[in-house]
């Protein structure tokens, strides 16, 4: 009995220790960003570093809000919303026939979609730049949306294939007996049942577009189109970093996506659970 209790205590200690370590690993950088954003420039460069601001100030936030950074955040939001909507729609339309219908080349198309998603963006930005330049879409938000679709559409399609496969095929057959077309089955049967999964896929697509940096840096450059990830580079001048404004701007950019994840937390859990259960 004593050995059994000791083993249980050891497992509990190991579990809580692992959770504390993971929590520290995940929240430590965010805490440091917030703390640094509340410090004065003198305190930021002071040694040894302080883990709690001695004289908290919001001056870095006011400076960031009075600059062009809010416009960059708005551009990111517009681009991310456009990418999310198009990716979810195209992904659903592409995933449905692969998951629910039989046709020649289905497995080949499925593998091609996965391969397209696995292509590194660093290999794609030069061909994409040439394409967008020929279309006259360089330094436009629409051009950035098209560039992001090259990796969000394959991702959404691949994820939705898995979600759609968990739905019993009896629903399709019943709808077909009632005279429903494939489009009606998708819109009125499959999508409502797979709504949590679609929500998760859309949220991940939004996050990808929101945090993307390389394409945003290469394809747009004017203040009217630049996103916040590229806008943050304006706070670095060679080897000089304006740490206070940089951290304050980062916190401002974190807030929208944080609110979205908090509000959609229940749907995320439902969607992730739905994708792991065989229907």
Euclidean distance between CA atoms 36 and 203, whole angstroms: 29
Cβ atoms of 40 and 63 within 8 Å: the answer is no
Answer yes or no: do 31 and 92 share one domain. Answer: no
Answer yes or no: do 100 and 137 share one domain. Answer: yes
When mean pLDDT is compared over 24-28, 145-149, 185-189, 264-268, the highest value belongs to 145-149
Residue 54 lies in a domain: no
**Cα-Cα end-to-end distance for the chain:** 42
Split into its structural domains, the chain has a count of: 2
- Which pLDDT score, from 0 to 100, does residue 117 have? 79
Averaged pLDDT of the chain: 83
Residue 268 lies in a domain: yes
pLDDT digits (tens, 9 = 90+) for 163-221: 888 888 888 778 888 787 888 888 888 888 888 888 888 888 998 899 888 899 889 88
User: In this structure, what CATH number is given to the domain that contains residue 238?
Assistant: 1.10.3720.10
Q: Which domain does 25 fall in, by range?
A: 2-44
Answer yes or no: do 36 and 136 share one domain. Answer: no
- Per DSSP, the three-state class of 22 is helix
Residue 50 lies in a domain: no
Euclidean distance between CA atoms 89 and 186, whole angstroms: 11
Answer yes or no: do 25 and 86 share one domain. Answer: no
Answer yes or no: do 96 and 185 share one domain. Answer: yes
Answer yes or no: do 78 and 24 share one domain. Answer: no
Which runs of consecutive H residues, i.e. helices, occur in the chain? 2-37, 41-44, 59-66, 69-100, 106-118, 121-134, 141-165, 170-177, 182-185, 191-193, 195-211, 214-219, 228-231, 243-263, 265-274
pLDDT digits (tens, 9 = 90+) for 1-51: 555 667 777 788 888 888 888 888 888 888 888 888 888 888 888 778 888
Answer yes or no: do 84 and 21 share one domain. Answer: no
Conformational region of residue 71, where left means phi above 0, alpha means psi within -120 to 50, and beta covers everything else: alpha
């Amino acid at each position: 009995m004593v050995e059994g209790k000791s083993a249980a205590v050891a497992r509990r200690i190991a579990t809580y220790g692992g959770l504390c370590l993971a929590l520290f690993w995940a929240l430590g950088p965010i805490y440091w960003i917030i703390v640094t954003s509340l410090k004065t420039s003198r305190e930021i460069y002071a040694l040894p570093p302080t883990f709690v601001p001695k004289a908290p100030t919001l001056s870095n936030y006011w400076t960031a809000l009075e600059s062009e950074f809010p416009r960059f955040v708005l551009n990111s939001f517009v681009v991310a919303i456009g990418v999310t909507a198009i990716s979810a729609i195209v992904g659903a339309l592409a995933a449905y026939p692969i998951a629910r219908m039989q046709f020649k080349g289905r497995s080949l198309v499925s593998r091609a979609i996965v391969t397209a998603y696995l292509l590194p963006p660093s290999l794609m930005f030069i061909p994409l730049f040439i394409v967008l330049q020929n279309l006259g879409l360089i330094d436009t938000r629409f051009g950035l949306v098209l560039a992001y679709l090259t990796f969000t559409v394959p991702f959404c399609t691949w994820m939705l294939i898995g979600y759609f496969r968990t739905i019993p095929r009896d629903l399709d057959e019943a709808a077909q007996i009632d005279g429903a077309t494939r489009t009606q089955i998708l819109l009125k049967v499959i999508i409502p049942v797979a709504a949590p999964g679609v929500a998760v896929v859309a949220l991940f697509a939004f996050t990808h577009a929101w945090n993307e940096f390389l394409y945003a840096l290469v394809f747009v450059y004017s203040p009217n189109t630049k996103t916040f990830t590229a806008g943050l580079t304006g706070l670095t001048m060679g080897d000089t970093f304006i740490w206070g404004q940089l951290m304050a701007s980062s916190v401002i950019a974190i807030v929208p996506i944080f609110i979205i994840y908090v509000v959609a937390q229940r749907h995320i859990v439902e969607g992730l659970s739905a994708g792991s259960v065989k229907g």
